[in-house]
Structure 1
Amino acid sequence: MSRPLAPLLQLVRQGAVFGAVGLAATLTHVLIALALEGLAGVEALLANLIGYTCGIGVSYLGHARLTFGAPSRNAAQFARFLAVTFFGLGLNQLIVWVCVHRIGWPFWAALVAVVLLVPGPTFVLAKLWAFRRPSA
């Protein structure tokens, strides 16, 4: 009976761990971005870019080891991960630009939109492409 549920349970576990690792990477990103923008007066898009970049290491190591149980020393996998990350960054920057510069939201509100909209597509790309297992 548990056999048919195993793939679903693995997906749920991966989703939960992806969320936890993503939260750690996002906190790294957001805290650095807010500090740069609020305390150092760095422009919102640059502060966001620097914060996002700081979260990449947390994200890759956490997702490779914890989320997907993949080796962290794999150049091809890291390159795919970077492609997913840059897709996420592009989506992230687009959301910040639209929210801050077009709609007029405060930077913190744009970051809330980022946190709500970016993880879903990046999980799918990470699972199905960046950290995919080689076929037997």
Structure 2
Amino acid sequence: MSRELLWFGIVGVSAMLVHLGSVALVLVPLGLPPLVANMVAFLLAFQVSYLGHHRFTFSAADAPVARSRRRFFLVALSSFLVNEVMYALLLRFTELDYRAALAIVLVAVAALTFFSARQWAFASNERA
């Protein structure tokens, strides 16, 4: 599992750089509004994330590609929604600094994403 965690971090950082870079360096300069650019960038970063996790993190060669792509998209989208809700709740109902609240949310959501991807999205036929 330590190899999976290492690759999960490497792939996650790579996807984040694609997301940030595509918004800041390409999409907004081309005239897309930032919120629209963010949605397009999410889809681009999803491709990097999916391919990296499928190939390196979970070595999911025996997981059907169409099924694992669909499932991982649901995991990624759900993780984004959980992130937003948890962050909003912590900001609203606690005294935490916004940075501390975000750090808590990011760690919790990363763990949720890792285990959901590992146990469900990239599960082999035997584990699905």
Could you tell me the TM-score, scaled by structure 1's length? 0.65
Identity of aligned residues (%): 33
Deviation at 1:120, TM superposition (A): 2.4
1:52 is the counterpart of 2:42: yes
Shift >4 Å, 4+ stretches: none
Q: Deviations over 1:23-72 (max 9, x none)?
A: 111110111123334x3564443222111111111111111110111127
For 1:60 and 1:49, the matched residues in 2 are separated by: 16
For 2:51 and 2:20, the matched residues in 1 are separated by: 18
Question: RMSD in angstroms over aligned alpha carbons?
Answer: 3.3
1:80 is the counterpart of 2:71: yes
Q: 1:52–1:89: 8 Å Cα contact kept in structure 2? A: no
Superposition map of 1:108-123 within 5 A = 113=102, 116-117=106-107, 118-123=109-114
Aligned match for 2:121, one of 117, 124, 130: 130
Q: Which has the higher contact order (CA 8 A, sep 6+)?
A: 2
Could you tell me the TM-score, scaled by structure 2's length? 0.69
- The residue that corresponds to 1:32 in the other structure is 22
For 1:82 and 1:47, the matched residues in 2 are separated by: 18
- Quick one: structure 1 residues 121 and 59, their matched pair in 2 at CA, closer, same or farther if it must change by over 3 Å? same
- The residue that corresponds to 2:10 in the other structure is 20
- Structure 1, unmatched stretches of 5+, are 1-10, 104-108
For 1:46, what is the secondary structure of its paired residue? helix
Deviation at 1:73, TM superposition (A): 5.6
- The residue that corresponds to 2:95 in the other structure is none
